[in-house]
Structure 1
Amino acid sequence: MENNTTKKINQATQQGYYLDFGTVIEKAFENYKKIALTGGLGFLIIVIASFALFGSIAVVAFGTADMMGTLTEFNPMDFSVVGILIYFLVMIVFAGLTAPIGAGFFKMAHLAETNKPFSVGVIFDYYKTVHFKELFIAASLLAIINFAFVTGFEFIDYPIVGNMLSYVVAFFTMLTVPLIIFDNQTGVDAISISIKLVLKQPLILLGLAIVSFIIVCLGIIGFCIGILFTFPFWYSFLYTTYNSIFPIENASEIEEIGRLEE
């Protein structure tokens, strides 16, 4: 017998669902206004930490004098076959380990939508939940697929095609994370379901994604720093889209699931 979650997912993937473009954008803006400052500070912390981490690695690997020149000309395709494999293995693991941060922004959007208190620390909550494994698996699988496209087409001198295919993958799997954290899907199932959902409304979802991307890019006007505070809109858009397809009714139950430790 199907449970309610399975039933609603099967209904949406088989029969389709309705999305109103204007309503999604309007609700996404309302949600974004609640998380813009906190989410922007969260992104700022992540960017600083990333620069510190990769900067330290670059100094150790290349030395201070040659670091900037090496980084600007960096191309993993210049490595040996073993070096390329090691590089991509590291990046795949990195993608898996950072996946819970993205999930944390979804939780922030959800708490804002339900008028619950939240802080910057929310973005790290999913490192201590039962969802960590599936988030890691999903992100790692998607990283493998993307790297395969990028690397494969790089070898045959068509890097643009590889990059375009990676964007296509990102588009069709954009609902993967909320399926994991809000409806307890496995990483593999979440990817599959996300593809089926996007295929039901590809044009309106593409339009929403383009508009949301443009809104995020408006932050570049603020000497690039502003993009840190417009980027949370992307998560508000994805959260609102998911919530429009599968209304998240029992907020307290979902938050409780999100706090369960392994």
Structure 2
Amino acid sequence: MNNKIDLKIQNGYTLETGSLIDESIATFKKTFLISGVAMILLILLFAIIYGTLFAVFYGFSDFTSTMTQLQTSQSSTTGLLTTVIVTTLTSGFFAPVTAGFIHANHLAKNNQEIGINVFFDFYKSKFFKDIFISFLILGLTTSILNAALVLINLEFLSYIVQSIIGLLTVFTLPLIIYGNQNFENAIIKSVQLFFKQPILIFVALLLAVIGMLLGIFALCIGIIFTFPYYYSMVYAIYNQAIGFEEKSVIDEIGQEEI
């Protein structure tokens, strides 16, 4: 697989927007219900964790006053440092779930059973270390750049920074879980692969974001079920750009522990 990836980096690959849309929609149709349930569980888990931490550190005696103080302190050095640490750790902690959303599409494409456990299986997989460290690095990089933008009063550019990093590293997780790359190689090779087809990848992911946001029109809560479409597109891009061996270790996820 390493040779195949290196050849793609050296010689490039082809992408077709229409084919990417068709493939991503096909797998999304098979996964959106279970992915939506997983999203609801994650939202509840996220709310419990952050609610508990908030109660421990600040209490709920005066919620409005506390939130006002937090917003005011976000531009301070201490506030920015806290934001960097929390964002970095959160990014690393939830990265295996992101890998699970991507992998759900692989299972759907191969007509394999998809259970709610799929979204959490990577916490106990051999890929966990590289998944966690890769997103720890990316989260830290993004947070530091965003903090720097706040300090120079250009925080409105933070979304652009996040988007650029997201584009450059779109192959990172698939390279780890399907290409057996370590975190360092996955990040580096993701950047190299992106620049082989930057415009088509940008257009494909932009369409995915638009498709994802359509859920807002379904009483707003519909986005819970359309949000995973982004990962369907990420999977389609990797599948079309790199592809898979006839039989890989990851295909046996339901037969033996990852």
TM-score, normalised relative to structure 2:
0.92
Q: Distance in 2 between matches of 1:47 and 1:73?
A: 25
Q: Distance in 2 between matches of 1:73 and 1:207?
A: 40
More divergent stretch after superposition (77-86 vs 119-128) = 77-86
Unaligned runs of 5+ in 2: none
Q: 1:87 to 1:204 in 2, by over 3 A?
A: closer
Secondary structure in structure 1 of the residue aligned to 2:126? coil
Q: 1:143 to 1:113 in 2, by over 3 A?
A: same
Q: Is the 8 A contact 1:76 1:84 kept in 2?
A: no
User: 1:126-160: per-residue Cα shift (whole Å, max 9, x none)?
Assistant: 01111000001100000111011100011011112
In the alignment, which residue of structure 2 is the partner of 1:208? 204
Q: Is the 8 A contact 1:212 1:234 kept in 2?
A: yes
Q: 1:73 to 1:245 in 2, by over 3 A?
A: farther
Q: Distance in 1 between matches of 2:74 and 2:236?
A: 42
In the alignment, which residue of structure 1 is the partner of 2:106? 110
In the alignment, which residue of structure 1 is the partner of 2:139? 143
Listed as ranges, the matches of 1:141-220 within 5 Å are 141-220=137-216
Q: 1:78 to 1:244 in 2, by over 3 A?
A: closer
Q: Distance in 2 between matches of 1:124 and 1:232?
A: 15
Q: What do you get for the CA RMSD once the two structures are aligned?
A: 2.1
What code does the residue aligned with 1:7 have? N
Give the percent of matched residue pairs that are identical in Structure 1 and Structure 2: 32
In the alignment, which residue of structure 2 is the partner of 1:96? 92
Q: Distance in 2 between matches of 1:234 and 1:107?
A: 13
Unaligned runs of 5+ in 1: none
Shift of residue 80 of structure 1? 5.6
Secondary structure in structure 2 of the residue aligned to 1:200? coil
Q: 1:121 to 1:152 in 2, by over 3 A?
A: same
Q: How many residues align?
A: 257
Shift of residue 84 of structure 1? 3.8
What code does the residue aligned with 2:20 have? V
